């Protein structure tokens, strides 16, 4: 069953039934001010950091689901309703939610009154605009009452949920005209405040939650709204909110537009106060004045649309697959921007207080984002590298507000350093900016410890070499890419974190074949970079280590039909036919195939055939098989999940692309495409009931074949799946791959594809590429012409900036 449809022309997903199987959300803002918004206007806002600077309150995992948001209540005659259906849940005559690129438009109709809500965060603005349009479609004059509502979070989203003995006494607000200011803790250590305004005089307001709702009422039934009477309360402690009250009269056929603004500002310590106890509001006033008319708001909205036109114009494809095109041209790229901004911090599955920016996660996010805004990718690379230690190890996560490594999580994940090589080389291939390697980057953010970024890559590479186990394979540390393969944890205490506890590591023999494969891929990339820089000795040294690793993998990492996954603490095999459960895993087979290890000996082909046979199912490729049916203390969290979920034989979408790229190494375009399509969300739209989460973005996990409900997805939006799938489809299936010298053209497609066209902006020029497949091949470029002239290899050279060219490719 479907709950809406794709509107590709407007680049929107249109939800026509508010009762989606799970809240289907969108993100507003892509710089500093962010909001999450569901199809019924639930969600919250924050500034930079969802943990430390949460602006409005939201209740995760509550009853009912999706509690808290920016709500509008319309009272007309005796009836009360919300344009987004929730929270009132009054039946509407019409409902529609359009999630677009950085905006959401929700329309509700009741009793011939149409209410349209447009939410967006304008570019370079620390505020969410809410444009409310009320239209009287009846033949009578309408008199209605409108109440707005948001609830303030007391800034730190973690303590906001627990320290009630303090929180209930600290809340403070100010009300000035139509603007409600939230200033809790501003009197002491904070120099920031939030505000909620409307561009017209109000007839009342409320800022005290209990007075607004009545102590025992829910969001669906505020007492003031039911009675049609605001209380004009000024909150002192308890829970401050912001609600405007407006009386609106509408002639038949007339409409009225109101502009609400939910904003955030910071003041310098010496400029905090206007007068004793009264905050200096000049910055808020300035922002409000930028959006105080419909015209100004419409212009800001048009600028946002133009911004996305430009961004999405960097890569466009036209194939015969409509569902593919809409993902590549619109939603997959959009999701890459979102994962770039948020890493794994705030979604409807990530509470915003658990995780900050991940070292490995953010590096991987770059490979799907770098072609959009390379300057921001550059800044991110430097932020990430600044959290590294001199020996190449690094903090697993850092907080976006402070950009400092997160001590609570620590480090010790031995795959982490390598991803810096992946992210940095992707950036240089896209931009040609070798200069980034000279940027002075500190270790652990310690002033004075700066070295050129290039040295960070060296220590990243060396960290693996310096941490090898008995077979010459990389030691795993706390875990590798699979956070849940905790081979040194040995936890029997449910209060211990699997990831941060390392009960034994001295003398550990736990080695990872996934890191080994990753090392070979990144090592070769790093060596190539060194060669380009004229560092021939270093390139040689690196390749010697890479070759040794390849040998170690062939010798100790091959199980006969596929690559092993790991050796455990005691040196026993994991991911082997000798194991009773968990005989084969996706990650090591993906990375070793991507590296083409044992290609000549037929290892790659065998491994991928085994993956097909044992891991593939209707909804995608599961992580391991057979699933673990019990807890193995020596394996850790992976075996804590019930079979078929998450890292225990779930379809972890993030790593399916590794197999897909492996298939393209073998030239099996049919299989690559089959796998790609299985996890591509637009292809699951018709089974939204089962799939549950948004059909326009990737989810981290789809329940695997051993699960109770195979095909049910969880953890949408913030997943490396977004970047990896964009990388895979654009560079390995459609085969348009940035390199230091130009665009490599190397498609690997299903034989039934006759032709497609890609427009790619690259280093300032535009390449219009037509790929023709008259002989129904899967791989192999037979001929290429550039502006009609044949070129000898499959690298289309760099062109003078600003030029356009036609490239014709025949397979």
* Burial of 79: CB neighbours in 10 Å, binned 0-12, 13-18, 19+: exposed
Per-residue x/- marks for ligand BGC, 322-361, CB under 6 A? ----------------------x-------------x-xx
The distance of closest approach from Cβ of residue 716 to ligand BGC in the complex, given in angstroms and rounded to an integer, is 13
The span from the CA of 763 to the CA of 771, in Å, is: 21
Q: Which residue has the tokens 């699997």?
A: 498
How far apart are CB 159 and ligand BGC at their closest, in Å?
A: 24
Minimum separation from the CB atom of position 518 to ligand BGC (A): 12
Q: Does 484 bind ligand BGC (CB under 6 A)?
A: yes
The token duo for 414 is: 């031995």
Distance CA 797, CA 588 (A): 34
Among this protein's residues, is 483 annotated catalytic? Answer: yes
On whether the CB atoms of residues 562 and 606 are closer than 8 A, the answer is yes
Please say whether the beta carbons of 481 and 467 come within 8 A. Answer: no
Options 206, 483, 694, 706; binder of ligand BGC; rule CB under 6 A:
483
Residues 6+ away with beta carbon under 8 Å from 686 = 1, 2
- Report residue 631: phi and psi, to 5°: -80, 125
Distance between CA atoms of 730 and 767, rounded to whole angstroms? Answer: 14
Find the residue with minimal CB distance to ligand BGC. Answer: 483
Applying CB under 6 A, does 182 fall inside the site for ligand BGC? no
Binds ligand BGC (CB under 6 A): choice among 482, 625, 684, 725? 482
- Closest CA relative to residue 82, chosen from 13, 148, 27: 148
DSSP reduced 3-state for 752: coil
For tokens 């310590």, the residue is 269
Q: How many residues does the chain have?
A: 811
Write down the least CB distance from residue 160 to ligand BGC, Å: 24
Q: Is position 576 an interface residue for ligand BGC (rule: CB under 6 A)? A: no
CA proximity to 392, closest of 519, 556, 567, 546: 519
Catalytic: which of 220, 361, 416, 483?
483
Is residue 481 within the footprint of ligand BGC (CB under 6 A)? Answer: yes
Cα distances (Å, whole numbers) of residue 416 to 7, 385, 500: 39, 11, 15
Least distance between ligand BGC and beta carbon 481 (Å): 4
Look at residue 192 and give its three-state secondary structure: strand
- In angstroms, what is the minimal distance from the CB of 427 to ligand BGC? 20
Of the two residues 385 and 778, which places its CB atom closer to ligand BGC in the complex? 385
Instruction: Check binding of 647 to ligand BGC (CB under 6 A).
Output: yes
Q: How many CB atoms lie within 10 A of CB 473?
A: 26
Cα–Cα distance for residue pair 10/12, rounded to 1 Å: 5
**Distance between CA 144 and CA 132 in Å, rounded?**
14
Interface with ligand BGC: number of residues (CB under 6 A):
9
CA distance 182 to 546: 57
Q: Does 590 bind ligand BGC (CB under 6 A)?
A: no
Q: Shortest Cβ distance from residue 620 to ligand BGC (Å)?
A: 15
Q: Which two tokens stand for residue 59?
A: 């209740």
| End-to-end Cα spacing for the chain | 39
Strand order through the sheet with 315-318:
315-318, 755-762, 765-772, 804-810, 783-786, 789-791
Q: How many other C-beta atoms are found inside a 10 Å radius of the C-beta of residue 460? A: 24
Shortest distance (Å) from residue 585 CB to ligand BGC:
12
| Binding of residue 66 to ligand BGC (CB under 6 A) | no
240 or 412: CB nearest ligand BGC: 412
Binding site for ligand BGC (CB under 6 A): 344, 358, 360-361, 481-484, 647
Any idea which residues carry the catalytic annotation? 483
């Amino acid at each position: 069953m479907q709950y809406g449809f794709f509107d590709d022309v407007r680049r929107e997903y249109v939800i026509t039934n508010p009762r989606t199987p799970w809240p289907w959300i969108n993100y507003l803002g892509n710089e500093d001010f962010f909001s999450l918004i569901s199809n019924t206007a639930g969600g919250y806002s924050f500034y930079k950091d969802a943990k430390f600077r949460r602006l409005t309150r939201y209740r995760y995992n509550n009853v009912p689901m999706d509690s808290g948001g920016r709500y509008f209540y319309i009272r007309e005659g005796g009836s009360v309703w919300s344009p987004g259906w929730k929270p009132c849940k009054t039946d509407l005559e019409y409902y529609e939610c359009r999630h677009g690129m950085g905006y959401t438009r929700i329309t509700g109709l009741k009793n011939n009154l149409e209410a349209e809500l447009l939410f967006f965060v304008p570019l370079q603005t620390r505020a969410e605009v809410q444009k409310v349009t009320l239209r009287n479609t009846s033949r009578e004059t309408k008199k209605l009452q409108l109440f707005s509502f948001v609830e303030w979070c007391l800034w730190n989203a973690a303590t906001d949920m627990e320290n009630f003995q303090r929180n209930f006494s600290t809340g403070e607000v100010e009300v000035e005209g139509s603007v409600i200011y939230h200033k809790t803790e501003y009197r002491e250590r904070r120099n920031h405040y939030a505000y909620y305004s409307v561009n017209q005089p109000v007839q009342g307001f409320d800022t005290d939650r209990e007075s607004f709702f009545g102590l025992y009422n829910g969001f669906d039934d505020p007492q003031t709204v039911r009675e049609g009477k605001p209380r004009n309360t000024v909150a002192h402690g308890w829970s401050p909110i912001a609600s405007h009250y407006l009386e609106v009269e509408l002639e038949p056929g007339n409409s009225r537009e109101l502009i609400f603004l939910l904003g955030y500002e910071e003041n310098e310590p010496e400029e905090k106060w206007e007068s004793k106890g009264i905050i200096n509001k000049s910055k808020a006033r300035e922002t409000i004045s930028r959006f105080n008319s419909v015209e100004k708001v419409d212009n800001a909205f048009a600028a946002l649309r133009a911004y996305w036109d430009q961004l999405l114009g960097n890569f466009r494809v036209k194939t015969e697959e409509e569902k593919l095109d809409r993902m590549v041209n619109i939603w997959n790229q959009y999701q890459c921007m979102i994962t770039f901004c948020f890493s794994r911090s705030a979604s409807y599955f990530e509470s915003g207080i658990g995780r900050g920016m991940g070292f490995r996660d953010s590096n991987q996010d770059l490979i799907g984002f770098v072609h959009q805004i390379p300057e921001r990718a550059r800044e991110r690379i430097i932020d990430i590298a600044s959290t590294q230690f001199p020996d190449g190890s690094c903090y697993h996560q850092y907080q976006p507000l402070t950009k400092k490594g997160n001590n609570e999580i620590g480090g010790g994940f031995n795959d982490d350093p390598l991803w810096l090589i992946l992210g940095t080389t992707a950036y240089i291939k896209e931009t040609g900016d070798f200069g980034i390697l000279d940027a002075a980057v500190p270790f652990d953010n310690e002033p004075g410890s700066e070295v050129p970024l290039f040295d960070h890559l060296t220590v990243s590479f060396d960290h693996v070499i310096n941490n090898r186990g008995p077979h010459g394979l990389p030691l795993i540390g706390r875990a590798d890419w699979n956070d849940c393969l905790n081979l040194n944890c040995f936890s029997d205490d449910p209060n211990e974190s699997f990831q941060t506890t390392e009960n034994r590591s001295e003398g550990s023999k736990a080695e990872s074949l996934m890191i080994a494969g990753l090392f070979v891929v990144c090592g070769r990339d790093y060596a190539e970079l060194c060669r380009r820089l004229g560092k021939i000795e270093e390139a040689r040294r690196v390749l010697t280590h890479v070759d040794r690793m390849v040998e170690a993998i062939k010798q100790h990492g091959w199980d006969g039909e596929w690559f092993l996954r790991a050796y455990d603490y005691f040196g026993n095999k994991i991911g082997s036919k000798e194991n009773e459960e968990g005989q084969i895993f996706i990650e090591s087979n993906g990375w070793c195939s991507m590296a083409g290890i044992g290609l000549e000996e037929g290892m790659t082909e065998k491994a991928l055939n085994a993956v097909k046979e044992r891991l593939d199912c209707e909804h995608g490729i599961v992580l391991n098989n057979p699933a673990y049916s019990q807890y193995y203390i020596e394996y850790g969290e992976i075996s804590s999940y019930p079979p078929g979920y998450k890292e225990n034989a779930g379809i972890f979408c993030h790593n399916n692309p590794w197999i897909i790229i492996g298939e393209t190494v073998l030239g099996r375009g049919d299989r690559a495409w089959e796998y790609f399509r299985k996890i591509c969300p637009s292809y699951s739209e018709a089974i939204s009931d089962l799939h549950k989460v948004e059909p326009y973005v990737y989810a981290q996990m789809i329940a695997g074949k051993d699960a109770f409900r195979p095909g049910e997805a969880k953890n949408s939006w913030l997943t490396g799946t977004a970047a990896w799938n964009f990388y895979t489809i654009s560079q390995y299936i459609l085969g348009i791959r940035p390199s230091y010298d130009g665009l490599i053209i190397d498609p690997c497609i299903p034989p039934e594809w006759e032709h497609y066209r890609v427009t790619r902006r690259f280093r300032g020029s535009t390449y219009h590429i037509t790929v023709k497949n008259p002989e129904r091949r899967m791989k192999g470029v037979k001929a290429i012409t550039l502006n009609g002239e044949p070129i000898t290899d499959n690298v289309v050279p760099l062109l003078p900036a600003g030029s356009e060219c036609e490239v014709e490719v025949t397979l």
